[in-house]
Chains A and B, each alone.
Chain A
Amino acid sequence: MAYGRAVPGSVQSIERAAAILQVVAGSGGTLGVTDIAEAVGLAKTTAHSLLRTLLLVGFVEQDPATGRYSLGTALLRLGSSLDTNELRARASNWADALAARSGHAVRLATLSGDEVVVVHHVFRPDDSAQLLEVGTALPPSSALGKVLLAHSHPHTGSRSGPRPPAVAAELGEVRARGWAADRAEANPGFGGIAAPVRGAGGLVVAALGVSGTRSALFDAAGVPRPLVLSMVIDAAHAVSRELGAPGA
């Protein structure tokens, strides 16, 4: 069994997982755990625990009826970023519910290069005149911008250069606590609260948030109103779950 052979200096479990993926890819979804274990020359229990991990990260999928394995969507999407129109379609129901419950306008944004771009926008539910902002860019100091920048990798192709220490510190905080606030920094009188949306691989793929007057979103001390904050976090979580994020 070629797959069972240990190569010096290699990590054995990764090597085995790769072998399993090759077998699953070649089988067209026709193999169960016993066949896979046999094909890669592993004990069934070992193959089973490797498959469980691959299932967890979305690299394989299991047919609930037959128990057979096929390649997972996370693997198929590897190397291609999530389509923003697909993202909007998957987030739409949750964004609507967030706007209806909170009474605030909702935006979903992604990073396009260095720019924070709105990919979905639900109006504030008061029937006032509002313009659809899909496709427009937001300032990095917006709540959505902070969430996205906090989870981006500035060394990969950033044109804006290194971040000032104060900004870097705030972004670190955003990363740690799982949400960001804009206390009318981007737009006088108006602020925002946003939380990260994670994709199938667990990486942050978008930010979801509400915007409104500073007093509607924050108390006098600038602390987010707990009800609004929990609605935003729950909605972002729900979209992550919809996208198949692990643990969401």
Chain B
Amino acid sequence: MLAVDQGTTSTRSLVFDRGGRMVAVRQREHRQYFPRPGWVEHDPMEIWANTQRTAAQVLADVPGTGEVMALGIANQRETTVVWDRDTGRPVTRALVWQDTRTDDLVTELAARQGAALVAERSGMAIAGYFSGPRLRWILDHVPRARERAERGQLLFGTMETWLIWNLTGGPDGGVHVTDVTNASRTLLMDVRTCRWDPDLLAFFDVPAAMLPEIRPSVGVLGTATALSPALPITGALGDQQAALFGQTCFAPGEAKCTYGTGSFLLQNTGTELVRTRSGSISTVAYQLAGEPVHYALEGSVAVAGALVQWLRDGLGLISSAAEVETLARTVSDNGGCYVVPAFSGLLAPHWRGEARGLVAGLTSYVTKGHLARAALEATGWQTRDVVRAMAADSGLSLPALRVDGGMTTNNLLMQFVADALDTPVVRPMVGETVSLGAAYAAGLAVGLWSDVEALRRNWHRAAQWSPSPERARALTAEYPTWERAVQLSIAWGAP
């Protein structure tokens, strides 16, 4: 299986074998454009070129290229591209999911009559985080964009749509489709019927003519004639959903958390949509062609590894990210110190953009070791915040948390998460869960694997951290102190 992982900083092409083991990988980074404070852009043409190049390289790397059966795509979510269907040229650079230029637009829209409809239909509250407001911004600000979009001259897509269109011929018969997980992150789709919703399109003032067709995540999407040999494209998922799929979380209650710059926890909730009240998001997990949609609850935390990077680059306390564990182990507890890393507000489950970071509980007893420990604990506490909100929304218990991402080599953090959740934390043998999920989706569609049970058999535990009953009790007693620090960080940022 060939998998393309189109991420925020790079595009990677990987080949996996039937056992779910990675055989080859090629990667190429792309440029980040920051034209103004808060604006983040990518060049879609550069990303398309990197996709072609890495895919061609990785196909050349593997012996027996002819044995590669199909292609699956996982992509950075909510990043928005608009392009001309005849020239294939984007009308502007892609607006990246980290871009905050739509904040004012979103505030204005949220105050309008009918705004409640957005949460009711799309399953998500209006926020600049999603792609619909970015599309609206392009229509409002790029000259003649709205008029051309209404005539059907311009096409909209998230990254998987842009890549599939180009892979299948571009202006020359390219297929204009999106997968249901990506579509669910636009605020334009009815999360129950999985169709574009006319009322939401009217609310955001987006012409239906420019929207791609919504397809299942697993099933034939088109033929990538741009590759040699041409391969069927049979899977597409947003990256976090791909990680859920790669971690084989197919049963209600099963959950994964990816610890990278931020942390992203998704819990499968089965085929019934869960209405959220506690601060998690209802999102589409995946859909196999001809089967009902599976949903998930999602809790995104903006700052996890980014806090460790700040200790390294901002404070110079450590010279590499991994050394944070060494520093944290110079002390046996946090010394009464708490760090709330609300660098640009708090996402799930609080959704308080005004919150600002703080270090609480400083005394002359506190050393840099305590600070390092408090920083790692912050990531563990935030996982507990999210899990608690999800449990309140879904009523599902968490049998175990499957983890991936760079921070899973940090044993102190992983043990703290296990103790804070009072739940085993397990790491799989294949850390590349995003691209593996894309490969799995594509491989299921072409019959390389018979069903999701066959995928489960490929999942192997590489490590497990089990909760200690005494530590779990102690952390439950300590949790209100953390919550108080969070409330202080919200109060601090309040106008």
Cβ–Cβ contact A125 & B429, under 8 A: yes
- Tell which of A6-14, A80-88, A230-238 binds the partner: A80-88
Q: Mark B391-417, 1 if CB is under 8 A from A, else 0.
A: 000000000000000100111000000
Alpha-carbon distance between A101 and B23 when the two chains are bound, in angstroms: 11
Q: Mark A82-100, 1 if CB is under 8 A from B, else 0.
A: 0111101110110011011
Alpha-carbon distance between A88 and B406 when the two chains are bound, in angstroms: 11
Any chain A CB within 8 A of the CB of B322? yes
Kindly name the residue among B19, B409, B411 whose own CB sees the greatest number of chain A CB atoms within 10 A: B409
Any chain A CB within 8 A of the CB of B460? yes
Contact A85 B463, CB 8 Å, known A92-B409, A96-B429, A97-B22: no
Cβ–Cβ contact B322 & A100, under 8 A: no
Alpha-carbon distance between A204 and B325 when the two chains are bound, in angstroms: 23
CB distance from B451 to the nearest CB of A (A): 19
Any chain B CB within 8 A of the CB of A223? no
Alpha-carbon distance between A93 and B324 when the two chains are bound, in angstroms: 19
Q: Mark B460-474, 1 if CB is under 8 A from A, else 0.
A: 111111000000000
Cβ–Cβ contact B429 & A86, under 8 A: no
Q: Mark A115-146, 1 if CB is under 8 A from B, else 0.
A: 00000111101110010101000000000000
When the two chains form the complex, which single residue of A83, A85, A89, A99 contacts B429, counting CB atoms closer than 8 Å? A99
Cβ–Cβ contact A89 & B322, under 8 A: yes
Contacts of B354 on A, CB cut-off 8 Å?
none
Contacts of B19 on A, CB cut-off 8 Å?
100
Contacts of A84 on B, CB cut-off 8 Å?
326
Cβ–Cβ contact B462 & A96, under 8 A: yes
Alpha-carbon distance between A85 and B320 when the two chains are bound, in angstroms: 10
Contact A88 B409, CB 8 Å, known A83-B322, A83-B323, A100-B430: yes
Chain B residue at minimal CB-CB distance from A87: B322
When the two chains form the complex, which single residue of B321, B326, B430, B461 contacts A123, counting CB atoms closer than 8 Å? B461
Alpha-carbon distance between A130 and B326 when the two chains are bound, in angstroms: 25
CB distance from A132 to the nearest CB of B (A): 6
Alpha-carbon distance between A85 and B326 when the two chains are bound, in angstroms: 7
Cβ–Cβ contact B460 & A83, under 8 A: no
Kindly name the residue among B21, B326, B463 whose own CB sees the greatest number of chain A CB atoms within 10 A: B463
Alpha-carbon distance between A130 and B430 when the two chains are bound, in angstroms: 18
Residues in B310-336 with C-beta less than 8 Å from chain A: 320-326
Q: Mark B56-77, 1 if CB is under 8 A from A, else 0.
A: 0000000000000000000000
Alpha-carbon distance between A99 and B462 when the two chains are bound, in angstroms: 8
Cβ–Cβ contact A83 & B462, under 8 A: no
Cβ–Cβ contact B326 & A132, under 8 A: no
Chain A residue at minimal CB-CB distance from B464: A132
Any chain A CB within 8 A of the CB of B431? yes
Cβ–Cβ contact B409 & A89, under 8 A: yes
Alpha-carbon distance between A156 and B108 when the two chains are bound, in angstroms: 71
Number of B interface residues at 8 Å Cβ cutoff, please give it.
23
Chain A residue at minimal CB-CB distance from B459: A127
Interface of B is mostly: mixed
Chain A residue at minimal CB-CB distance from B462: A122
Cβ–Cβ contact A126 & B463, under 8 A: no
Contacts of B464 on A, CB cut-off 8 Å?
123, 130, 132
Contacts of B320 on A, CB cut-off 8 Å?
83, 86, 89
When the two chains form the complex, which single residue of A88, A93, A127 contacts B322, counting CB atoms closer than 8 Å? A88
Chain B residue at minimal CB-CB distance from A95: B462
Residues in B447-467 with C-beta less than 8 Å from chain A: 460-465
CB distance from A230 to the nearest CB of B (A): 17
Task: Tell me the number of A-to-B contacts counted with CB atoms below 8 Å.
Answer: 65
Contacts of B430 on A, CB cut-off 8 Å?
96, 100
Cβ–Cβ contact B411 & A132, under 8 A: yes
Alpha-carbon distance between A88 and B414 when the two chains are bound, in angstroms: 14
When the two chains form the complex, which single residue of A88, A89, A100, A132 contacts B460, counting CB atoms closer than 8 Å? A100
Contacts of B410 on A, CB cut-off 8 Å?
85
Alpha-carbon distance between A97 and B429 when the two chains are bound, in angstroms: 8
Chain B residue at minimal CB-CB distance from A105: B462
When the two chains form the complex, which single residue of B21, B325, B411, B460 contacts A127, counting CB atoms closer than 8 Å? B460
When the two chains form the complex, which single residue of A83, A93, A134 contacts B411, counting CB atoms closer than 8 Å? A134
Alpha-carbon distance between A199 and B461 when the two chains are bound, in angstroms: 29
Kindly name the residue among A100, A127, A130 whose own CB sees the greatest number of chain B CB atoms within 10 A: A100
Alpha-carbon distance between A132 and B411 when the two chains are bound, in angstroms: 10
When the two chains form the complex, which single residue of B22, B411, B463, B465 contacts A122, counting CB atoms closer than 8 Å? B463
Contact A126 B460, CB 8 Å, known A92-B409, A93-B431, A132-B465: yes
Contact A123 B322, CB 8 Å, known A96-B430, A100-B430: no
Contacts of B322 on A, CB cut-off 8 Å?
83, 85-86, 88-90
Contacts of B406 on A, CB cut-off 8 Å?
89
CB distance from B417 to the nearest CB of A (A): 14
Alpha-carbon distance between A130 and B464 when the two chains are bound, in angstroms: 8
CB distance from A109 to the nearest CB of B (A): 15
CB distance from B318 to the nearest CB of A (A): 9
Kindly name the residue among A96, A122, A127 whose own CB sees the greatest number of chain B CB atoms within 10 A: A96
CB distance from A238 to the nearest CB of B (A): 13
Contacts of A92 on B, CB cut-off 8 Å?
409, 431
CB distance from A61 to the nearest CB of B (A): 15
Kindly name the residue among B409, B410, B462 whose own CB sees the greatest number of chain A CB atoms within 10 A: B462
Contacts of B462 on A, CB cut-off 8 Å?
96, 99, 122-123, 125
> Known pairs A89-B322, A89-B406, A125-B460. 4 more at Cβ < 8 A?
A96-B429, A100-B19, A120-B409, A130-B461
Q: Would you give 18 A-B contacts (Cβ < 8 Å), ordered by A? A: A83-B322, A85-B324, A85-B326, A85-B410, A86-B323, A88-B322, A88-B409, A89-B320, A92-B409, A93-B431, A97-B21, A100-B19, A100-B429, A100-B460, A122-B463, A123-B460, A130-B461, A132-B411
**What are the 3 closest A-B residue pairs judged by CB atoms, nearest first?**
A125-B460, A89-B322, A85-B325
User: Which residues in A have some Cβ–Cβ distance to B below 8 Å?
Assistant: 83-86, 88-90, 92-93, 96-97, 99-101, 120-123, 125-127, 130, 132, 134
